[in-house]
Amino acid sequence: MKARIAVAWAGVASLVAGGLVVAGPVSAASDTLREALSAAWPGMAKEATVVDWEGNVLQEGSNGYTCMPTPPSLSGTAPLCLDAAWMAWAKAWQDKQPFTADRLGIAYMLQGDAGASNVDPYAAQRTDDNQWIVEGPHLMIIAPAALLGAFPTDPDNGGPYVMWKGTDYQHLMVPVGTRPAAGGDE
């Protein structure tokens, strides 16, 4: 996912940097809204802000989360909902700037993703040595590095694992559903 999500995070960062535009009612917006909100559990999603990839606000929210549909550059489904800490992380990642987590941040990707390197934050595709993983429904947690030290990096351990360990962008992947079988993780 992170390969293709590179473009997605670019969109997140541009939304953060460029501000958001309030959208008027549009029929296609309801499909976009529905897809974006599918990234999170219903109770959280109903109070989240939703934006499209042009920065249009499709739903005003009050809980501190921003949800986005699958980036147009991706095939498959990969909507996401980010809290403020993750929005700051996304901007730092996109700009290749340092990031230090000083608090917990939670992101929801309950539709899963299209694949990413488990070791290289900027890998654009699967290689023989980048531990490419396609994850099913999951949460992502950023935290101060000391809190992540006890977790493994092996995505096949049967539970949470640290992605991008040792980088400014390390985070805990928490699978909450079945990982896709076809063409998935290697």
Give the model confidence (pLDDT) of 86-107 as tens digits: 999 999 998 999 999 999 999 9
This model's pTM is above 0.75:
yes
Please, which residues have CB within 8 angstroms of residue 88's CB and are 6 or more apart in sequence? Answer: 99, 105
- For the record, the structure tokens of 166 come out as 């040792």
**Which residue did the predictor score with more confidence, 51 or 74?**
51
Q: What is the 3-state secondary structure (H, E, C) of 72-99?
A: CCCCCCCCEEECHHHHHHHHHHHCCCCC
Which helix (H) or strand (E) covers residue 158, if one does? none
Structural domain count, the chain: 1
In the block, tokens 């990096």 appear at 153
Reported as half-sphere exposure (CB side, CA atoms, 13 A), residue 52 has a value of 16
Could you list the residue range(s) of the whole structural domain that residue 34 is in? 1-179
Instruction: Answer yes or no: are the C-beta atoms of 134 and 182 closer than 8 Å.
Output: no
Phi, psi dihedrals of residue 8, rounded to the nearest 5° = -65, -45
Instruction: Answer yes or no: are the C-beta atoms of 160 and 118 closer than 8 Å.
Output: no
pLDDT of residue 102: 95
Q: Which amino acid is at 91?
A: K
**Which residue did the predictor score with more confidence, 30 or 64?**
64
Q: pLDDT digit string (tens) for 113-155?
A: 988 899 999 988 899 999 999 999 999 999 999 999 999 999 9
Determine, yes or no, domain membership for 186. Answer: no
Determine, yes or no, domain membership for 50. Answer: yes
pLDDT of residue 124: 82
Mean pLDDT score of the chain, rounded to an integer?
85
Determine, yes or no, domain membership for 184. Answer: no
Determine, yes or no, domain membership for 185. Answer: no
Q: pLDDT digit string (tens) for 36-60?
A: 999 999 999 999 999 998 989 999 9
